[in-house]
């Protein structure tokens, strides 16, 4: 398989040029004719520059991509970063970030920025939902088990009402309450170019009747988000325009996903509409492409679509073919801090003893800073010695790998080689069992 894509220089970091900047909108580029015919390239316009899509957006949860400085994130080719409203609300506080000029200025990042609504973290970290999520993704849970389903519903009803979600800070145990209006207020203060509407998190364990109830509530919250977004946009007219994207829920149910997409696409609150859309909630891996295609078939094609929390190569190819434009995920940096290294042949753990005297790059031919300057033996040593630099070097590589992979997917669409690239890349990565590095 050709791995030239790993060695290519990162794309030019795009900043606003000229006197007039398009602060919203999406231009469709090359359409993917194969598969469901929904994939495409394009350009997302924001107040702080453009994003060529498909694109992977590294996650800087607390206004930092862990172990990296922003100049490193830019050097590896990232076009934007995403931060988390829940975490920045708790620490240092949205008011402080607002005073700094938004989280981009706060962290010295001049390009486009995203923030999620905080809904996932409010429930998973602050509302006792972790046990439910752990069971769902353990691979051993029976999703049809009535007891587990009852537990999931009970966990939701304990903290969610029509107006809000009540949770406890994972930092100090203090009680807080997020409403759609609170989430919008926080995200406006964080100053992101792209914000997401506040939605309710459900899992695959939640039964159909609760999924319907939750979806209806999420749509009522979405309308409240639009109204508050309009008010705050007018109130903060001196600030750059911040886009609001609606989040399509509906779990694994085709009718719910399609209804959610149509509802959000048509939603209008006194002239304010969603600038784009996120696809969220529980997604069965084997049905990911199918679920995303249900959504994208219903959405306005001239507004961008973001798939939340995805970074595995097979998922990226499936989602792009189904119509998703941008992606974010903590995995590339998270597994890097645990010594896992991405390669076209899967993942390997650099602490394995066979790398102790291996003086080759992490991945031969990779153009990232780590692979062009350091060896497996050195990075192995750093992890064994518990040196902080170990996380920096592996994170640079994993983020480069993921950003460049999605860039290469974009280029393969433009060149008419998407299917061949997907078949080679996914076949090689998955066949290895994700424990590669020969």
- With beta carbons less than 8 A apart as the criterion, state whether 184 and 198 touch: yes
Which of the residues 275, 315, 325, 328 is marked catalytic? 328
pLDDT bin (cut points 50, 70, 90) of residue 365 is very high
CATH superfamily of 54-329: Queuine tRNA-ribosyltransferase-like (3.20.20.105)
> Average pLDDT for residues 190-210, to the nearest whole number?
94
The residue from 116, 275, 325, 407 that is catalytic is: 116
Round the average pLDDT of the chain to a whole number and report it.
92
Give the tens place of pLDDT for each residue, 266-300: 999 999 999 999 999 878 889 999 999 999 999 99
- Strand ranges of the sheet holding 49-53, from the earlier edge strand across to the other edge: 26-31, 40-46, 49-53
Task: Say what the pLDDT of residue 145 is.
Answer: 86
Percent of the chain with pLDDT over 90: 80
What is the predicted pLDDT for the residue at 140?
Answer: 65
pLDDT at 15: 56
Mean pLDDT over residues 213-239, rounded?
A: 98
pLDDT at res. 435:
47
pLDDT score of 17: 55
Specify which of 15-29, 130-144, 362-376 reaches the highest per-range mean pLDDT: 362-376
Strand partners, 52: 43
Tell me the per-residue pLDDT of 27-65, one tens digit each, with 9 for 90 and over. 999 999 998 999 999 999 999 999 999 999 999 999 999
Q: Which DSSP symbol is given to 252?
A: T
Which one, of 170, 25, 167, 6, lies nearest residue 76 by Cα? 6
Confidence of residue 154 (pLDDT cuts 50, 70, 90): confident
Question: Is the separation of the CB atoms in 316 and 310 below 8 Å?
Answer: yes
When pLDDT is cut at 50, 70 and 90, the band that residue 438 belongs to is: very low
407 a catalytic residue: no
328 catalytic residue (yes or no): yes
Q: What is the pLDDT of residues 381-436, one digit of tens each?
A: 999 999 999 999 999 999 999 999 999 999 999 999 999 999 999 999 987 655 44
Distance in angstroms (rounded) separating the CA atoms of residues 198 and 427: 37
pLDDT given at position 217: 96
Quote the pLDDT of residue 1: 56
Widest pairwise Cα distance in the chain: 66
**Chain length of the chain:** 438
* Per-residue pLDDT reduced to its tens digit, 112-144: 999 999 877 776 776 666 666 666 666 667 778
Domain boundaries, the chain: 54-329, 332-438
What's the rounded Cα separation, in Å, for the pair 402 and 406? Answer: 6
Among 273, 332, 277, 340, which residue's Cα sits nearest to residue 306?
Answer: 277
Task: Give the model's pLDDT for residue 18.
Answer: 53
Classify residue 353 by burial, with Cβ atoms within 10 Å: 0-12, 13-18, 19+. Answer: exposed
pLDDT value at residue 436 = 45
Sign of CA dihedral 355, 337, 333, 381: negative
CB-CB contact of 234 with 186 (8 Å): no
On the question of pLDDT at 159 being above 80, the answer is yes
Q: Which pLDDT belongs to residue 8?
A: 83
Supply the pTM of this predicted model: 0.94
Residue 67 gets the label, from left (phi > 0), alpha (psi -120 to 50) or beta, of left
Burial 158-168 (b: 16+ CB within 10 A, else e): ebbeeebbbbb
Pairing of the two strands 194-196 and 243-248:
parallel
DSSP three-state, residue 412 = helix
For residue range 293-312, list pLDDT tens digits in order: 999 999 999 999 999 999 99
Average of pLDDT values for 82-105?
97
Q: Lowest mean pLDDT: which of 6-20, 69-83, 338-352?
A: 6-20
Quick one: pLDDT band at residue 3, thresholds 50, 70, 90? confident
- HSE-up of residue 362 (Cα within 13 Å, Cβ side): 36
């Amino acid at each position: 398989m050709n791995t030239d894509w790993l060695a290519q220089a990162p794309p030019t970091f795009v900043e606003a040029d000229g006197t007039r900047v398009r602060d919203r909108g999406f231009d469709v580029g090359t359409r993917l004719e194969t598969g469901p015919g929904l994939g495409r390239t394009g350009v997302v316009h924001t107040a702080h520059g453009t994003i060529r899509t498909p694109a992977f957006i590294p996650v800087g949860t607390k206004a930092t991509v862990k172990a990296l400085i922003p100049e490193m994130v830019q050097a590896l080719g990232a076009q934007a970063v995403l931060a988390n409203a829940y975490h920045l609300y708790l620490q240092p506080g949205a008011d402080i970030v607002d005073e700094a000029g938004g989280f981009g200025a706060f962290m010295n990042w001049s390009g486009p920025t995203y923030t999620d609504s905080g809904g996932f973290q409010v429930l998973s970290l602050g509302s006792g939902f972790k046990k439910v999520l752990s069971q769902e993704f353990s691979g051993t849970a029976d999703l049809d088990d009535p007891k587990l389903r009852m537990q999931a519903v009970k966990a939701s009803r304990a903290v969610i009402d029509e107006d809000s979600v009540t949770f406890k800070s994972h930092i100090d145990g203090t009680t807080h309450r997020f409403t759609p209006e609170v989430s919008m207020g926080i995200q406006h203060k964080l100053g992101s170019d792209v914000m997401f509407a506040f939605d309710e998190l459900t899992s695959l364990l939640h039964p159909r009747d609760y999924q319907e109830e939750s979806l209806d509530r999420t749509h009522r919250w979405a309308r409240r988000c639009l109204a508050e977004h309009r008010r705050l946009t007018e109130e903060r007219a001196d600030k750059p325009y911040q886009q609001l994207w609606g989040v399509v829920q509906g779990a694994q149910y085709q009718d719910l996903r399609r209804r959610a997409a149509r509802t959000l696409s048509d939603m209008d609150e006194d002239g304010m509409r969603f600038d784009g859309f996120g696809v969220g909630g529980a997604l069965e891996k084997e049905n990911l492409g199918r679920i995303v295609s249900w959504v994208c078939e219903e959405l306005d094609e001239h507004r961008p679509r973001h798939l939340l929390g995805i970074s595995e190569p097979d998922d990226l190819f499936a989602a792009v073919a189904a119509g998703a434009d941008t992606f974010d995920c903590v995995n590339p940096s998270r597994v890097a801090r645990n010594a896992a290294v991405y390669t076209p042949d899967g993942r390997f753990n650099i602490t394995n003893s066979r790398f102790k005297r291996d003086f080759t790059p992490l991945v031969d031919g990779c153009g990232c800073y780590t692979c062009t300057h350091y060896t497996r033996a050195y990075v192995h040593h750093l992890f064994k010695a518990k040196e902080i630099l170990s996380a920096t070097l592996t994170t640079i590589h994993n983020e480069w790998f993921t950003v460049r992979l999605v860039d290469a997917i974009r280029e393969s669409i433009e060149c008419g080689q998407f299917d061949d690239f997907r078949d080679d890349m996914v076949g090689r990565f998955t066949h290895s069992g994700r424990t590669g590095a020969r």
